[in-house]
Amino acid sequence: MEDGSLGHNDLVAARVDGDRLHYPKVVVVDADGMALDEPVFFAFSGMANGTKGANYAVLVDLSDTVNFPHGATGRVNLWSSFVFVDKEADTIGAVQIGVITRIDGASADLSFVSGFSFSATSDRTFSRDRVLAAPIRLGVVGGKLVSAATLFRATNVAAVNTGVALPSPVGLVTPAVGDLIAKFDYTSGGQYAAAVSGQYCGDARVGR
């Protein structure tokens, strides 16, 4: 490990100068020794409107490094996710987090890597907290994830396309390949509200 870089199990030593502590600059590195952006927090609140189908939101705009703070734009690395749902007793639906793998003016393909479904039960609130020892690498090449495998995919989703801006934590954005996305799916019953948050970082690499 080079000086100034940290692995997951490394300790940071402070230098004492009089009554002050000086900490070295911390550089987060992955298992390959590559420097990564420091993880950044995102949060979004969405709601199913009682109409069968799904609503979508962009959680992280990969190309926008100003409103979604990250340095590298090769891919999003997802470090953690938290989903909270407040629903009616008869509500059936699901919340999923994924990435756009293909998009044009008519539709998009999505691959999901986190989330959960909920059924009609007396339980009114559900939550899932997922903190990872290493991030899920969401690089996209040729319409496919190159460093993650998932069976949870949706193709030709008409509600996601380059002609319609989607809500995000910072307002409306135009979706694009590589963006982190949330799907709020509604099947039946009463409406529900959901909050999605987590940590991500940018990575210059697309593949591993």
Instruction: Report pLDDT digits (tens) over 40-85.
Output: 899 998 776 666 788 999 999 999 999 998 888 889 999 999 999 9
Residues 22, 85: one domain?
no
Question: How many domains are there within the chain?
Answer: 2
Residues 65, 137: one domain?
yes
Residues 7, 82: one domain?
no
Residues 90, 183: one domain?
yes
Q: Is the pTM of this model over 0.95?
A: no
Is 109 domain-assigned?
A: yes
Is 208 domain-assigned?
A: no
Is 170 domain-assigned?
A: yes
Which range of residues forms the domain containing residue 90? 37-203
Backbone φ and ψ for 118, nearest 5 degrees, come out as -140, 145
Give the separation between CA 56 and CA 52, rounded to whole angstroms.
13
Residues 104, 4: one domain?
no
Is 125 domain-assigned?
A: yes
State residue 207's pLDDT score: 73
Q: Residue 19 to residues 14, 15, 22: CA-CA distances in angstroms?
A: 12, 11, 10
- pLDDT-derived band at 21, boundaries 50, 70, 90: very low
Residue 111 class from Cβ within 10 Å (0-12 exposed, 13-18 middle, 19+ buried)?
A: buried
Q: pLDDT (tens digit, 9 = 90+) per residue, 130-183?
A: 998 889 999 999 999 999 999 899 999 999 999 999 999 999 999 999 999 999
Instruction: Report the chain's mean pLDDT, rounded to a whole number.
Output: 84
Q: Which residues of 187-204 are buried (b: 16+ CB within 10 A; e: fewer)?
A: bebbebebbbbbbbbbbe
Residues 80, 127: one domain?
yes
Residues 92, 193: one domain?
yes
**Number of Cβ within a 10 Å radius of residue 91:** 22
Q: What is the CA radius of gyration of the chain?
A: 19
State residue 205's pLDDT score: 84
- pLDDT-derived band at 22, boundaries 50, 70, 90: very low
Strand arrangement of the beta sheet that strand 27-29 belongs to: 5-6, 27-29, 35-36
Mean pLDDT of 31-37: 60
